[in-house]
Amino acid sequence: MEKELMTGGAFLLRDTRFEDVFIPEEFNEEQRMIAQTCQDFLETEIFPNLDRIDAQEEGLMRSLLGKAGELGLLGISLPEKYLGFGQSFTTAMLANEKFGAGYSFSVAYSAHIGIGTCPTSYYGSEEQKEKYLPKLATGEWTAAYCLTEPNAGSDANAGKTKAVLSEDGKHYILNGQKMWITNGGFADVLTVFAKIDNDRVLSAFIVDGHSEGITLNPEEKKMGIKGSSTRQIFFNDVKVPVENLIGCRGGGFRIALDILHMGRIKLGGIVIGAEKISITQSVNYANERKQFGSFLSEFAAIKSKIAEQVIRTFTNESAVYRICQHIDELKDSYIEKGMDHGKAEIKAISQYAIEAAMMKVYGSEVLDFVVDEAVQIHGGMGFSSESKVERGYRDSRINRIFEGTNEINRLLTIDSTLKKAMKKEIEIFEMADVILDEIHNIDEHPPIPEDYYEAKHFYIRGFKKAILMIIGQAYRNLKNQLVQEQEIMMNLADMMMQLYAAESTALRVEKLEKIHNSPNTPIYRDILDVFIYDAGCRIRKSGMDAIASFVDGDQFEKMYTGLHTYTRVIPVNVKESRRRIAEKIIEDNRYSL
């Protein structure tokens, strides 16, 4: 069968074949070599220097980025003509994942290669690309992204920084203030967003970080990611050559939004590396520490914690790489039609704004869970600044704020879904109407397929129906007021995230068994069993919260029945499943799936 591209949000309406998804076990030799290079860099340059990095030793982070550039690790996805490796989005995500275990370094790295470099890579003129990208790829120059202002955080377009054309027409004169600028203390190249004259929307500029008129506040004192340079930057009559305008006048807001989509999906991958190292630290300690004459890893309560860390990390990883493949396939289709590489990639990423927002929220909250349990497994030692997990716990918290808060991204998930539905890009409302009509005569105890994977997909289709039912009825009842009901919007976003993670995991496990004949199939099935069961419970709870907020009487009873039917999952022995998962990790003494 010819594969049909999965457009953004279409997972709600369509079934996916396991043959059509990419899973991490399918990385090729070249991709694995890049991953190993990243791992070697962490082992030799980052892990031995964590205290020096956190102390912000003068010049250290800048030099580390330079060394990464010398190895080609700053230009993995940039075209070869700009001294990059020209690798896929999926490969770049793998490098991001590996460096995600690098604490503060991962923040500096991702800011440089992502939001720092990509505005020029995606939207720059050919002259701008030729001038800046090779030096950013090699690490000769470092990059930062200047969007946020004291009174313009989530509402980025409220920024007050202004650019005025000089009398001779050769420069824009830039005045304003930016804050929370990652790499701000040493960046050579700044992407700065400002309004030209009295424009309502932003424009974007490439600014020399050493220009006259740029001043910096001292480094911010932060809860975590202490080794990351975070500064306020002031622009006082800074001259910016007119040729440094990125794209067109007033195009900066669109650039900012698209770059945020890219940053969100990449954050979903970065946290995987942090999750895996935290699990390894958890099991290492549990295998070494004795209490009451037994190793911690022998206690059932500790096994349950380790297993749940693994389950959530595995589902996060499954979902992220599924999206990466979609982005690469859509990007390639655009390139085949003659589109420039950079424009093709950002257009493809933008098509998956829904999934990017979900992965940012899901991944950051999985990491927060994993590091919290790591501290708990370590007990008192976990609260000591001498422990590795203490640093990971503090560093994790920023991810629920980065790239738009998780609350904003939950709202964005549903707002983007509704907009696609209204534009008829995905037939959400049409399918919702079918399901709402169906529940008049619903079978409350439909037969569950006997085949293992058919049963899992039966449950997943039910989850989709539950979500579509509530979206459809909410829109029927509330119309355009739905976007004001933020609690309902966030309930729906939570349901969609659980669904997407569940389906991605089911497809991965099915592919591992049917194509790769994995020896770990029993463990993978345990992960899938527990997660599908838990996802059904979580989707039902979020759905109940939603429908109780906007329907009552007969309508409530009808939707209540539908929700319970569509989220019904036959219970599994989660205790034994979790024990088997944990025992595999305990035996290997590391995250090994």
135-187 pLDDT, tens per residue? Answer: 999 999 999 999 999 988 777 788 899 999 999 999 999 999 999 999 999 99
Place of tokens 């490098």: 95
Q: Which of 533, 530, 566 is nearest to 547 (CA)?
A: 566
Contact between residue 352 and residue 327 where contact means Cβ atoms under 8 Å apart: yes
Burial 448-469 (b: 16+ CB within 10 A, else e): eeeeebeebbebbebbbbbbbb
Q: What is the pLDDT of residue 443?
A: 81
SS3 assignment, position 228:
coil
pLDDT at 444: 80
Check residue 3 and give its pLDDT: 65
Dist. CA 320–CA 265, nearest whole Å: 7
CATH for 427-588, options being 2.30.38.10, 1.10.10.10, 3.40.50.300, 1.20.140.10? 1.20.140.10
Query: Environment class of residue 167 by beta-carbon count within 10 Å: exposed (0-12), middle (13-18) or buried (19+)?
Result: exposed
> Are 18-142+250-424 and 427-588 equal in CATH topology?
yes
- CATH 3.30.1330.60 applies to domain 145-246: no
d(CA 333, CA 23): 21
Q: What is the pLDDT of the chain when averaged over all its residues? A: 95
Give the pLDDT mean for 218-243: 97
Question: Rounded to 5 degrees, what are φ and ψ at 114?
Answer: -95, -100
Q: d(Cα 350, Cα 331) in Å, to the nearest integer?
A: 11
- Cβ atoms within 10 A of the Cβ of 14, count? 11
Q: What is the mean pLDDT of residues 236-243?
A: 98
Pairing of strands 203-208, 189-196: antiparallel
Q: How far is CA 226 from CA 43, 106, 143, 222, 395, in A?
A: 20, 12, 19, 6, 8
Taking only Cα atoms into account, the Rg of the chain, rounded to an integer number of angstroms, comes to 24
Residue of 403, 485, 503, 513 with catalytic role: 403
In this predicted structure, the answer to whether residue 41 has a pLDDT above a threshold of 90 is yes
User: What is the CB-side half-sphere exposure of residue 410 using CA atoms within 13 A?
Assistant: 21
CA nearest neighbour of 226 among 52, 425, 91, 360 = 52
Which has the higher per-residue pLDDT, 5 or 542? 542
Does the structure show a pLDDT above 90 at 25?
A: yes
pLDDT over 90 percentage in the chain: 93
- What is the domain partition of the chain in residue ranges? 18-142+250-424, 145-246, 427-588
Question: Is residue 202's pLDDT more than 50?
Answer: yes
pLDDT at 400: 96
* Alpha-carbon gap, residue 524 to 508, rounded angstroms: 9
Pairwise CA distance, residues 169 & 146, whole Å? 24
End-to-end CA distance of the chain: 30
DSSP label at residue 2: P
In terms of DSSP bridges, do strands 189-196 and 162-165 run parallel, antiparallel, or are they unpaired? parallel
Distance of CA 32 to the CA centre of its chain: 21
CATH, range 18-142+250-424? 1.20.140.10
Q: Which two tokens stand for residue 152?
A: 């313009």
**What number of other Cβ atoms are within 10 A of residue 218's Cβ?**
8
Task: Name residue, tokens 């990243």.
Answer: 38
What pLDDT, in 10s, does the model give residues 548-565? 999 999 999 999 999 999
The answer to whether 357 touches 416, Cβ cutoff 8 Å, is yes
Provide the token pair at 76: 């993995």
Task: Give the three-class secondary structure for 174.
Answer: strand
Pairing of strands 245-246, 143-146: unpaired
pLDDT value for 1: 47
Which tens digit of pLDDT belongs to each residue from 385-400? 988 999 999 999 999 9
The DSSP H or E segment spanning 148 is: none
In this prediction, residue 317 carries a pLDDT of 98
Per the DSSP assignment, residues forming a β-bridge with 207 are: 190
CB atoms within 10 A of CB 215: 12
Burial of 284 (0-12, 13-18, 19+ CB in 10 A): middle
**Helix 486-514, helix 452-478: angle, nearest 10:** 160
pLDDT of residue 379: 96
Query: Catalytic annotation on 220?
Result: no
Could you give the angle at the alpha carbon of 438 between the alpha carbons of 434 and 441, nearest 5°? 165
Q: Bridge partners of 240?
A: 172
Name the nearest CA neighbour of 77 among 210, 269, 209: 269
Q: Given this model, what pLDDT does residue 82 score?
A: 97
Question: Between the CA atoms of 377, 306, 101 and 402, what dihedral angle is there, to the nearest 10 degrees?
Answer: -90
pLDDT of residue 247: 94
Show the CA angle centred on residue 528, arms to residues 523 and 529, nearest 5°: 95
Instruction: Read off the pLDDT of residues 321-355 as tens digits, 9 standing for 90 and up.
Output: 999 999 999 999 999 999 988 899 999 999 999 99
Confidence of residue 2 (pLDDT cuts 50, 70, 90): low
Please give the full DSSP string across 18-29, using - where no structure is assigned: GGGS--GGG--H
pLDDT at 410 over 90: yes
Distance (Å, whole) CA 70 – CA 119:
22
CA dihedral for 204, 207, 213, 218, sign (positive or negative):
positive
Give the three-class secondary structure for 221.
Answer: coil
Handedness of CA 587, 589, 592, 593 (dihedral sign): positive
What is the number of other CB atoms lying within 10 angstroms of the CB of residue 31? 17
Q: DSSP 3-state assignment of 307?
A: helix
CA gap 60, 273 in Å, rounded: 22
The token pair that represents 552 in the structure block: 């009552």
